[in-house]
Amino acid sequence: MLELSPFEVIHETLKDGNPKTAKEVARFARTKGIDWSRENANSSLYKMMKNSLVIKIETDKAPLWTLPEFAQGLVEKHTQSKRHIISFKSKKIPLSADTDLTITIQGIEMEFQFNPDLSSNDPYFAPDWLNEKIFVTLNPNHPFWLTFISDDASKSLQLTNIAAEVYVQWHVSKMTTEVTPKKLLDIRDKALRDIALT
């Protein structure tokens, strides 16, 4: 039951080198069985841009999106044909110890980032992945976080539990065999042991 994550769907859409709008990305996602609108595609595209995984090319209409390896030629092409197009690549901001961090489980790197713009109605975390790297957006305004995460120790424990949960989700999405409760327990146990022993 191999499932593509939203990041993987976008990467698959853009890997042909042709820049696409969010609407075109959403249309491709629907062919893969993901019920996406332009807004869903935009949300994932902006998350990917924040992690320097895609490049946004501004146009006088909807922005175009491409992968970094195709960016230079496309920016030049669009700049020549329309002088008012502005392109930019988001800078990779170093993770700071007090708000962001990276955790590795079973060789899979997870990059955590807090998004203070999320509301108390948004989920407490949102995972996504591309290849062998996982990106996790955390919601510091979630009621659970505001109620129970009051110091570094509780923050560390919460991040550890989220890391284990995200690892399980990633692992299950890559499985081609049936997922059983026993298998889920084994995957989670292996993740927690790896965190504790490294």
- pLDDT, tens digit, for every residue of 5-47? 888 889 999 999 889 999 999 999 888 888 888 888 888 898 8
Phi/psi-derived region of residue 52, left when phi > 0, alpha when psi is between -120 and 50, beta in every other case: left
Give the residue-averaged pLDDT of 174-197.
87
Residue ranges per structural domain of the chain: 6-88, 101-197
Q: What is the pLDDT of residue 79?
A: 46
Phi/psi-derived region of residue 167, left when phi > 0, alpha when psi is between -120 and 50, beta in every other case: alpha
Helix axes 38-50, 22-31, angle to 10 degrees: 110
Q: Answer yes or no: is pLDDT of 75 > 60.
A: no
Q: How confident is the model at residue 127 (pLDDT cuts 50, 70, 90)?
A: very high
Q: Answer yes or no: is pLDDT of 131 > 80.
A: yes
> What pTM was computed for the model?
0.62
Q: Which residue has the higher pLDDT, 60 or 134?
A: 134
Alpha helices by DSSP H, the chain: 6-14, 22-31, 38-50, 71-81, 143-148, 152-174, 181-197
Q: What is the pLDDT of residue 74?
A: 60
Q: Answer yes or no: is pLDDT of 125 > 90.
A: yes
Q: Answer yes or no: is pLDDT of 96 > 50.
A: no
Question: Shortest CA distance to 10 belongs to which of 182, 131, 174?
Answer: 131
2: burial class by Cβ within 10 Å (0-12, 13-18, 19+)?
exposed
Q: What is the pLDDT of residue 80?
A: 45
Question: In whole angstroms, what is the distance from residue 171 CA to residue 161 CA?
Answer: 15
Question: In whole angstroms, what is the distance from residue 1 CA to residue 185 CA?
Answer: 18
Q: How confident is the model at residue 73 (pLDDT cuts 50, 70, 90)?
A: low
Q: Taking the C-alpha atoms of 68, 55, 13 and 24 in order, what is their torsion angle to the nearest 10 degrees? A: -160
Give the residue-averaged pLDDT of 55-68.
85
Q: Answer yes or no: is pLDDT of 78 > 70.
A: no
Q: Answer yes or no: is pLDDT of 160 > 70.
A: yes
In degrees and rounded to multiples of 5, residue 113 shows phi and psi of -140, 135
Fold (CATH) for 6-88: Arc Repressor Mutant, subunit A (1.10.10)
**What six digits make up the tokens of 120?**
């108390």
Q: What is the pLDDT of residue 106?
A: 86
Q: Answer yes or no: is pLDDT of 95 > 50.
A: no
Q: What is the pLDDT of residue 47?
A: 87
Q: What percent of the chain has pLDDT over 90?
A: 20
